Structure 1
């Protein structure tokens, strides 16, 4: 009889390990089925001991041991995967089983990973690529050819299902038989078929996978690529809140394979690692974004409110571009930052945007009991609501916003016969619907598509004209990464345009807008890194976000006392989710001091009422 410790592969089990007994020939690393409460879970064996040697501890235990149900597969996963999961769990103060369950799809439990999943390399450094999509795809095709020549495989991680399909279409030509795609949208039968091919195929493979299918790694993998490494989809928005990019890096380091982080615009954290010479360039980074399209900047401050306080969302320049698109049977994509109205305030007389005195971000009007006040959601500075325009001292301050629905309504009034499409979370909810709608847009000459960020991954072909109806509302989002996201989004939109790229903004003097239109982004990185260092934001610190229901505020207060001397900075405003009010705060810990074992123990023992997100991608 054996005493067996296991890692439960289920995020609902908060314990790092559980103990069972078994008479089966079980060994460390085996995948087994265990009874847990009223369920049967998958688990990995971490240690096996002779039960006779532990007889005294078994008798003194107040909890009766249960028996392992069965052995599913002997040693199905490489040690590097387990080590990477442990390191990730340590960093994010969670349990190893939760991390493993996030990267191992259920279909792999039956088949396991390939017996020779990795091919260690003598030079297993982390390399970076910063260039446009087509150049990256060309580089990937070169890497695949070279790997296949060495009888080695490549795994490309992509953030979303649509990105998996787009990447596969771009680089699989000529190797379709050996290029596979793994994501949650394929059927269980198709997944089993693909996993079987990965197990049995002797030829090297290219596997393009979303993060949840990481364990579908092909045989003899020597290169792991994180495509669009800037994408927020790599960060989990639910427990255990891990970042798959972190896990991938830990795996590559332990497996001694080459890691490539690639995007049109690399994250600030990656650039900082490059400057520290922790990462290295695979090819020279492209610091200037080239575009065939001519750029136009429209100053929306020239448009004043009418007697009812309404301001046009469609400028004369954009109206002319729509008319030109129709007359030439071209296509136009109009981007809006929101599907609803954005909370901005402008002067009704001179059109000046009301901004923060400290950081120049737009101020947002909030209720404070029976009174009102302006709050800067970037730096937190507050201002009395009874203020005048800083430019002309007028009292006539007008709140406004531009969303996809408003743009659609105005276009319908201006062009009743316009072929108009709209893509946002209000109009479509399923990927198939979006693909069909975007296909109709491409196939309809003289058509206009209005959409949010939700539409962009589906725009897989160049578009004649691209316009940004409003980007100003994004500057008001209370997130330390918002400038990085704005420039990333604008450059992506600019790269889609073939003839005209137009931006409507009241921030015409903002250096970020100038960087986009000029295509020079190197100065942006230096300013962003300088700002984050001054404010102790990543990559110079690790943020821990604590969120709790307002009714459970006492739990948060107790945790804040327990983590002293670290301080928790509570957000000045509550967060509302699905009608429930939450209180949140952040703890800043110097990067060099994390992981902190004492802090981790406290966080792991915290009540489930507290949502803990370590190194979150956003503070929202």
Structure 2
């Protein structure tokens, strides 16, 4: 038995630190003083770290759980330094961190770091105000200013700012009264950061189909148990209003709700719709929050004071003490996959967190992923469908513009048919949208004298021209340089030409065709913040804009009643490159952007400019038969056991030199597992063979669905020694192959 300095019995406790250690570390603590979930300060070498007291038992499945660490002798352990005055990390979140770490083969401390970053765990400062002190006024010189303060002060504390504004005195007068003991500080009564939403504030008028769907979702919430439901509905069918009824059921039960959105830009209209339904704004969680707001929001959630949180995928790691529902809107979106740092898919991990918290999960989409549809088909998920648009709105008429038969004029990218359709839309006093999923002015700049192409010095990628800023930019590493006046290779003057269109070039062409139109460009380059996005949405909604030109940001769930025409400049853009999910992503994206047209009483139309009119994607869009397309996609993947009918895991090898990357990749290839139901593809150069100055090679492990990849990967990588210039990144269930 070991005793603390105070003579209490000391016991071993596990503490997980937000650092890349493979397991928690052991410390000593007075018996009964700390419990799993408590945040504590501990010594680590010569510094102090904040950690979380961790569970000694885990319910991570044995087939991908890491090996336990060796136990350190009690006499060698250091005591914890103290417990932080913060809410504990809930048990379901601790289990989720363990599960995600084991599944993705990530040190659990790096996953914990997403839940307790240093700025989260700083205690919130108590705000102080002034009340009457106990000192006698005898002997105090009562000036007019001091008397005004004494007349204004009461039993409820007033802040310095409020008191000086009320009395017209300076803060120095207050400090003088405080020094005399006439005033004293007291904690201010601060209103909650987030007002509670009112489930009955403005109930919607739902159609019979919507009401049946809403009742089904609400019953699942009231059951207080895990289950996954896909809410599928055509664009404009009122999916948000339907799942708001499930949110209302969660609020009525006094529990918290988490809503995940793939892009924070979507939160602008979403929060407005939420406020109209529930009377208040929800809590927001995303990377654009300032440090103070982020810390205050984290504490409010941890204390159960934020009933509804809407956020990006990182919101999965928030410490909800009483989570009752998780909703994943636009569940098909690849933006839910985090590719940097801890690699995970937000949609899939939302379902894991819901299961570990024993709460329902709702997946929402007009174009569900094949993974989700397969789970519905196999009976793992329930399925609720909305077949009709809300109110009098009808689905838009989708037509193909064959660019082989009706090409645009030389050097232009808008076909005569599309230009005529936009003109007719303006004549009807309606709005139009042009969609091209490519930022900048042109994706490639080359010299017409020698053929030199402007390439990123850090990546194997072309530099994108941004003519408005006279810059060339790499969209992978951020490198940028001024647009040169002469060719860097042959010094030819005025020889550099832009190849292909970006939205800046489409904007330039639209200005030529429609000089009087009010045009707005929507892209991540032009909308640098949520406030800028909100202003753009307001201008479109208030009819201050005639033509919207945008990248994929315009495809996301926007509702503009007067927008009746959508023109897709290059419908074939996403179909190249041999990506496993290229066709699925393209049909989802174009279906979503098509859904922006005709969402109110006025009928909508969509024109797809394409050179591949016979492609299954184009046929599915024109016929509006998403189900038939996905059935065809499923039939193509099943025979080769490609996801969702098999499992994939990628190993991405990177090094400072091509030779080092080749050596390490060859070493991994030579020791690749040879097991029944498994196959290793590669090594091969990654499509982006150089990224941020590092040379990259890829290996892909493919297994049948019933084979766990984690133990295979652990055994494969066991004993592999890496130099400081080499790295192996693991991507379980990859969706990108760059």
Q: With structure 2 as the length reference, what TM-score do the two structures score?
A: 0.66
CA distance in 2 between counterparts of 1:158 and 1:555 reads: 38
The one of 184, 192, 208 equivalent to 2:310 is 208
Structure 1 residue 320 corresponds to structure 2 residue 420: yes
2:190 aligned partner: none
CA distance in 1: counterparts of 2:117 and 2:622, whole angstroms:
43
Gaps of 5+ in 1: 113-118, 344-365, 367-398
Larger relative contact order, structure 1 or 2 (CA cutoff 8 Å, min sep 6): 1
1:267 CA displacement: 1.1
Give the match for residue 128 of structure 1.
Answer: 230
Q: What is the aligned partner in structure 1 of residue 187 from structure 2? A: none
Structure 2: stretches of 5+ with no match in the other structure? 1-9, 58-69, 125-220, 445-461, 463-497, 599-603
Where does residue 5 of structure 1 map in the other structure?
Answer: 14
Match of 1:158 among 261, 272, 295: 261
**Offset of residue 439 of structure 1:** 4.1
Q: Summarize the Cα distance change of 1:604–1:271 in structure 2 as closer, same or farther, 3 Å threshold.
A: farther
Give the CA deviation at 1:467. 0.8
Q: Does 1:84 align with 2:197?
A: no
> Which digits, 9 at most, give the CA deviation of each residue in 1:35-89, with x for residues without a partner?
446764332223689xxxx998467xxxx76553432258712222222222222
Q: Distance in 1 between matches of 2:38 and 2:545?
A: 60
Q: What's 1:248 paired with?
A: 350
Number of matched pairs: 546
Q: 1:303 to 1:195 in 2, by over 3 A?
A: same
CA shift digits 1:542-597 (9 cap, x unpaired)? 22222223343222222333342252323466513245442223221223111442
The answer to whether the 8 Å contact 1:34/1:69 transfers is yes
- CA apart distance, 1:541: 2.1
2:181 corresponds to 1:181? no
**Which of 17, 25, 36 is the equivalent residue of 2:24?**
17
Secondary structure of the corresponding residue to residue 376 of structure 2:
helix
Which of 638, 642, 660 lines up with 1:552 in the alignment?
A: 660
Q: Residue by residue, what CA displacement relative to the aligned partner does 1:309-338 show, whole Å, maximum 9, x if unpaired?
A: x45411001111232344344322100132
Q: Cα deviations across residues 473-517 of structure 1 (Å, max 9, x unaligned)? A: 211134211211111111111211123221111121222222222
**Cα deviation, residue 291, structure 1:** 4.0
Distance 1:616 1:221, change over 3 A: same
Question: 2: distance between equivalents of 1:234 and 1:300?
Answer: 34
Change (3 A) 1:599 1:578: closer
- Look up the match of 1:116: none
Pair 1:413 & 2:512 matched: yes
Q: Is the 8 A contact 1:434 1:458 kept in 2?
A: no
Give 1:41's aligned residue: 49
| Aligned mates of 1:135, 1:245 — CA distance in 2 | 21
1:234 maps to which of 333, 336, 339 = 336
Report the equivalent of 1:599. 713
Instruction: Name the counterpart of 2:569.
Output: 469
Equivalence for 2:404: 301
Residue 38 of structure 2: aligned partner: 30
Please name the residue that 1:610 is paired with: 728
CA contact (8 A) 1:182 1:191 kept: yes
Give distance in 2, aligned partners of 1:224 and 1:179: 14
Aligned 8 A contact 1:474 1:482 in 2: yes
- Counterpart CA distance in 2 for 1:192 and 1:532 is 45
Provide the C-alpha distance between the structure 2 equivalents of 1:416 and 1:526, rounded to a whole number of angstroms: 45
Q: Aligned ranges for residues 99-118 of structure 1 at < 5 Å?
A: 99-104=111-116, 108-109=120-121
Provide the secondary structure at the position in 2 that maps to 1:609.
Answer: strand
8 Å CA contact 1:571–1:585 kept in 2: the answer is yes
SS at match of 1:226: strand
Distance 1:284 1:324, change over 3 A: closer
2:92 and 2:417 mapped to 1: Cα distance? Answer: 56
2:324 to 222, 232, 248: 222
CA distance in 1, matches of 2:357, 2:351: 10
Listed one character per residue, the Cα deviations across residues 332-388 of structure 1 (whole Å, up to 9, x for unaligned) are 210013236569xxxxxxxxxxxxxxxxxxxxxx9xxxxxxxxxxxxxxxxxxxxxx
- Structure 1 position 466, deviation (Å): 1.2
Q: Give the 4+ runs in structure 1 shifted more than 6 A.
A: 287-290
**1:424 aligned partner:** 523
